[in-house]
A and B are shown apart, each in its own frame.
Chain A
């Protein structure tokens, strides 16, 4: 396939989309306004064995175009072997203001870290 796809087939017919896969969160209605392509967040797996990592965002009318745009925008230098695109509004984020209470639980629980246990220092293979 040419790097920019087959011009005879619409980008949305891209084979990289598994159309049979269940859609957890369909793109919201506002994505279909003529003027406003929806915002997608892009996650790239840089090589096999690693997780997908957030690379940035882009606008696209649908998932297939979002994937193609993500490839052109975030993997121009072989930065990835796999891409996820997610409608930005399908992401639930923790509230930065509740930082204190939301992440409170691990505070003061140093015993969850290996470094808490100092008596074993010097003992081999421990």
Chain B
């Protein structure tokens, strides 16, 4: 079992050991300290985390696609280099998160298989198409902006490996949002057509970005438990409201508008409010009936299959080297 030294392995325990484990877990959560992979944890905590972290990882991996689509059509060499760096970051973020999920006892191959088989979910946002170059700006500004809002509190998630992955990710995300903002700003200060293109992109991505925070609080069954476990620190609506407040300020600098005339600051609650969102659409996209679901999964499958020979060749080479080395060792021994 040496291989699982650093991982979390659910074990058969006696009722006394279970009770002691639960008491230890409760104490750690009450102290707002961190659970580490080899600590005892409730099965439901493990399951919730595994779902959340793997879905998060899948989102990063699928999230490479809308932007990768524009690498070959970026308007300048500088923009191409930036976009490539960003897409490479998304791959990296996916890998940090798969590593974190793995510490919960799930193999990476299983997670990959679930994604490819369409059994796993990922953020609904990546099932929308990136139609113009301005979408690269809107994705960076709105989608990565919403992601940052969501992820900063996750740096303090009670599960150590998840929090550490989020710290790393958040450090890198701010470049993503700023580069998106800059793309929109340049377009907004360009020709009337360019400015219109930027506005259209903001109009398209605004509502899907707000929905990234998840369903409204009264329709989010898992939120309460996740907050009790210190995985989530703020509710979906709370984060969404904060995000709207930030965007209201920033869109002025861009010289653009948000496609929502109901945004207002509620003096009583001290919170930003926004117009109604189409939650039916959200459910449809999550259920696999969004504009690009099929295309995204197909592309992922293709990439996985196309890369098979590389994985096999690398493993074969490693095996050959290993065999050579052990031959040499035997010769010495003889």
Contacts and interface: CB of A to CB of B under 8 A. Distances in A.
B82 to A, nearest CB: 13
B318 A93 contact: no
B238 interface: no
Contacts of A31: 318
Contact of B36 (A35, A95, A96): A96
B315 A34 contact: yes
Interface stretch (A54-62, A107-115, A118-126): A54-62
A26 interface: yes
Interface string B1-20: 01111100000000000000
Given A93-B38, A96-B36, A39 B102 contact: yes
Given A26-B322, A89-B3, A93-B5, A61 B315 contact: yes
Contacts of B99: 56-58
B318 A61 contact: yes
Where chain B touches its partner, the secondary structure class is helix
Interface residues of B, number: 34
Interface stretch (B88-96, B194-202, B282-290, B297-305): B88-96
Interface string A9-43: 01110000000000100111011111111010100
Given A57-B99, A57-B102, A73-B92, A12 B2 contact: no
Given A58-B99, A88-B3, A37 B322 contact: no
A30 B3 contact: yes
Given A56-B99, A56-B165, A61 B314 contact: yes
Interface string B304-334: 0000000110111111011001000000000
Interface residues on A, range: 35 or more
B95 A58 contact: yes
Of residues A39, A58, A60, which shows the largest number of chain B Cβ atoms within 10 Å of its Cβ?
A39
B114 interface: no
A65 B3 CA distance: 19
B3 A10 contact: no
B31 to A, nearest CB: 14
Contacts of A11: 314
B260 interface: no
Contacts of B172: 77
Nearest to A59: B108
A62 B102 contact: no
Contacts of B317: 10, 12, 61-62
B249 to A, nearest CB: 28
B39 interface: yes
Of residues B6, B89, B318, which shows the largest number of chain A Cβ atoms within 10 Å of its Cβ?
B318
B109 interface: yes
14 contacts: A12-B314, A26-B322, A32-B318, A32-B322, A34-B315, A56-B99, A56-B165, A57-B102, A61-B314, A72-B92, A76-B85, A88-B5, A89-B2, A93-B38
Interface of B: 2-6, 36, 38-39, 85, 88-89, 92, 95-96, 99, 102, 107-109, 164-165, 168, 172, 311-312, 314-319, 321-322, 325
Interface of A: 10-12, 23, 26-28, 30-37, 39, 41, 56-62, 65, 72-73, 76-77, 88-93, 95-96
